[in-house]
Amino acid sequence: MLTQRFVIPSRALPVPGVPALRDPGMSVGEGYAVWGGVVSAATAYPRRRISDSIRDVADLIVPPMCDGCRTHGSPWCESCQEDLARLSWVRPVSVRPCPTPHGLPPVVAAGPYEDVLRRAIVAYKDGGRSSLQSVLAPLLAASLRTVMPSREALSLEAEADEIVVPAPSSVRSTRARGERPVAALVRSAAGRLAAPPHVLDALVVVRRVSDQSGLTAGERAGNVQGAYAVTARHTRGLAGRTVVIADDVMTTGATLVEATRALTAAGAHVVGAAVIAATARRGG
C-alpha cells in the first residue's frame, strides 16, 4: 500500500498525463477529490506504476494555475474554455470604436475584450503565458478569415496576394527571449487558414510611447502618432501590396490608425484589420 499522500484539484480539470481522473471506472469519492482533501496514490492510481507517475505527482503537489479562474490544475481549464466559447461571438463581426478615429481601416473582432477573454489575452501578452497561444490563435484566425474571405477559397499553392502585418509590440510586452508575443500569435493564427497568408513582421516602434492603458482616446492617438515605421528591409516588399493588420485588442483604434499610416507611407494598401477582441461597440 502506497502511503504517499497528495492533493488533487476540486474539479475534474484536465491534468496532463492523468487520464485516470476522468476514467468512468475510477472511484475517488464522487469521482474526484475536493481541493485541499487528501487521497492515497493507491486509490487515485490503481492501474499506474509509481515510476510512471513521478512527474504527475509533482504536478499535483504544485499544480499549474489556470489563468482564467485561478484554480489549480492546468494553465487553462475546461471551464474557462467553455466560458470563452460562450463569450466569443458566433462569428467575427465588424467593430468600430466610438468616436471612430480618422484613418481607421475596417476592423473585425472575434469577441468582446472582457471577462475570460480579457484575462487570457493579458496573461498571454503581459504574463508570458505562451501556452495560451493555442487558446487565442483560433479566435484571431477566425477574424482573419472574415477579413480575407477569398483566402479560404484558394488552394495552399495559390499565389499569396495579401500580406498580414502584426501590430508592433511595446517594449514592455516584448519577451526577453524569442518572438514578440503578438507576432507569434499572428503567425499561429495565419497558419490556421486554408491558404495561410504571408506574415511580415514589418512594423517597429521608433520612439518611446507610454502605456496606453489609462489614457483617453485623444491621449492615445497623440501617444502613438508617428511612433511606428516599416523596417528598411521590408519597405520594398510592401510597396504596392495589399495588407491586413493583425493585433490582439482594439480599444480606441489609435494603434491601428498609426499602423495603417506607417504601412501606407511605405506604399502598402491597407484593406482591413483583424483583432481577437474589441472594447468598441459592435456594428458599422
154 in contact with Zn ion (CB under 5 A):
no
Total residues in contact with Zn ion, by rule CB under 5 A: 5
**Other C-beta atoms within 10 Å of 35: how many?**
15
Give the range of 80-88, 159-167, 178-186, 269-277 binding Zn ion by CB under 5 A.
80-88
Residue 67 or 258 having the CB closest to Zn ion: 67
What is the CA 280 to chain-centroid distance, rounded?
Answer: 18
- Which of 8, 77, 110, 209 touches Zn ion by CB under 5 A? 77
Q: Could you tell me where the DSSP H helices lie in the chain?
A: 41-44, 54-61, 78-87, 115-125, 133-147, 181-190, 217-224, 232-238, 254-265
Give the range of 51-59, 64-72, 145-153, 267-275 binding Zn ion by CB under 5 A.
64-72
- Which of 8, 15, 21, 80 touches Zn ion by CB under 5 A? 80
Residue 68 or 168 having the CB closest to Zn ion: 68
CA distance linking residue 79 with residue 268, whole number of Å: 42
Amino acid identity for residue 37 in this structure: G
Residue 68 or 197 having the CB closest to Zn ion: 68
Residue 68 or 105 having the CB closest to Zn ion: 68
**Other C-beta atoms within 10 Å of 17: how many?**
11
Give the range of 69-77, 160-168, 234-242, 268-276 binding Zn ion by CB under 5 A.
69-77
69 in contact with Zn ion (CB under 5 A):
yes
63 in contact with Zn ion (CB under 5 A):
no
Residue 77 or 185 having the CB closest to Zn ion: 77
66 in contact with Zn ion (CB under 5 A):
yes
User: Could you tell me the smallest distance in angstroms from the CB atom of residue 77 to Zn ion?
Assistant: 3
CA distance linking residue 221 with residue 244, whole number of Å: 20
What is the CA 20 to chain-centroid distance, rounded?
Answer: 30
168 in contact with Zn ion (CB under 5 A):
no
68 in contact with Zn ion (CB under 5 A):
yes
CA distance linking residue 145 with residue 108, whole number of Å: 10
User: Which residue is associated with the grid cell 468512468?
Assistant: 24
Residue 68 or 97 having the CB closest to Zn ion: 68
Closest to 260 (Cα-Cα) out of 226, 209, 210, 217: 226
To 5 degrees, how large is the angle CA 201–CA 104–CA 167?
20
State the residues that interact with Zn ion by CB under 5 A: 66, 68-69, 77, 80
